[in-house]
Amino acid sequence: MQTSTLEHSQSQSSNGAGRQFSLVALTSLFFMWGFITALNDILIPHLKSTFSLSYTQAMLVQFCFFGAYFLISVPAGRLVKSIGYQSGIGAGLLTASLGCLLFIPSALMGQYWMFLAALFVLASGITILQVAANPLVTLLGEPATAPRRLTLTQAFNSLGTTVAPIVGGFLLFSLVTESSESNPAHQVIMPYFGLAMILLVLALVFWKVTLHGVPKHAKGGVVLDADPRGLSSHRHLMLGVIAIFLYVGAEVSIGSFLVNFLGEAHISGMTEAQAANYIAYYWGGAMVGRFAGVVLMGRFQPRFLLAFFSLMAVVLIFTAVMSTGITSMWAILAVGLFNSIMFPTIFSLAIKDLGHHTSGGSGLLCLAIVGGAIVPVLQGMLADSIGLQWSFLLPMLCYFYIAFYGLSGAVPKSTNKAEA
């Protein structure tokens, strides 16, 4: 009897350590795709000046990057479902590495459309990682603590987004080689080649290690539900899809315009290299907020925190639009702090109580990340027509909706009478 108890205790300890290792390994992926995604905020003004683009044309960077989430999420879900979580992660890392390598011929040939194609391939790899990692994090432990685990991993995602502008700004705006003096497009070669090598090494690591703690009944990937009526009957899920669309769109759009916004004479008149460093405050605020969110969610209902943070973002953007100078600059940068808990909280609230529809609901939420492709282009159109500063009213409206979702829309209500 004592031997059996000891073996059970050792088994529990082993399972706990295995889950911790799996969570740490997945967290490294969150860091990497945060780093890669935030590099777009530096890449956009660089390509805008290199190819003399309008704001709308420059935002095609985000359109191609986040458009991959919409086009690739379902195929990626089927791929991961077929080959499993771990192999899916390896495939995603290899695809992302290939996308980074495609920046080399794009730069050498000096073609904007080739950069956009390379970004699409890179984002396709990131999409596969997202499809496998986000639901996997929710499965590595008790369902009640899923929002806290996602918030924790997203905090390290924010660490990547915080570091990226500083590193990217140095490599793209400060480090000038003989080749880049004659052709600025060549400045992207070194940073993206380095990323390709790192992603390749990570792919090899994930092919070798074993992820522990994955429930045996868990599906291998995120796919759309075979019965869309089953999904649409969950009001909080459908409203959550809209919330994810608008949140990702607003967060990405603000980050995409920051370098140019801080360069405006009536804001701070910074050079691109100087402004790139300040983007770290925007993404760093999200990192700090996510670590704090892990604690706050233990004391307050997540949906009320979501509403409060959203309304604070509204106030800050309105301040940034209506003022000038240092007030406007720090107001828009501070929005990052209140972005912190939004994605993991919306995601967790939206899939709550879905039962066997959870996988399909997760698939819809992944598709909704396409907001990062649409909203920046719309803001680009506004910036070209009414001015850059006034264009920030668009993401402000996005946060108004997210506040509504936290206050009312996130409450689970089935519109299917049979289920209710």
Cβ-Cβ contacts under 8 Å for 148 (sequence gap 6 or more) = 294, 297, 298
Residues 391-419: what's their mean pLDDT?
84
DSSP 71-132: HHHHHHHHHHHHH-HHHHHHHHHHHHHHHHHTHHHHHHHT-HHHHHHHHHHHHHHHHHHHHH
Quick check: is 248 in a domain? yes
Average pLDDT of the chain?
83
Give residue for tokens 């480090």.
175
* Spatial distance between the Cα atoms of 90 and 304, rounded to a whole number of angstroms: 37
Residue 333 has a pLDDT of 96
User: Any idea what DSSP says for residue 189?
Assistant: H
Name the more confident of 138 and 3. Answer: 138
Quick check: is 214 in a domain? no
Quick check: is 164 in a domain? yes
Quick check: is 12 in a domain? yes
Quick check: is 419 in a domain? no
Rounded to 5 degrees, φ, ψ at 414 are: -85, 135
* Spatial distance between the Cα atoms of 106 and 224, rounded to a whole number of angstroms: 35
Quick check: is 418 in a domain? no
Cβ-Cβ contacts under 8 Å for 277 (sequence gap 6 or more) = 165, 166, 169
Name the more confident of 212 and 375. Answer: 375
Domain that holds residue 142: 2-208+220-409
The top-scoring range by mean pLDDT among 41-45, 87-91, 152-156, 362-366 is: 41-45
Quick check: is 392 in a domain? yes
* Spatial distance between the Cα atoms of 356 and 254, rounded to a whole number of angstroms: 36
* Spatial distance between the Cα atoms of 197 and 193, rounded to a whole number of angstroms: 6
For the domain that residue 306 is a member of, what is the CATH number? Answer: 1.20.1250.20
Residues 126-146: what's their mean pLDDT?
73
pLDDT in tens, 378-392: 999 999 999 999 999
Q: How many domains does the chain have?
A: 1
pLDDT in tens, 257-284: 999 999 999 999 999 888 988 999 998 8
pLDDT in tens, 219-251: 444 445 545 566 777 888 999 999 999 999 999
Residue 297 has a pLDDT of 79
Name the more confident of 300 and 60. Answer: 60
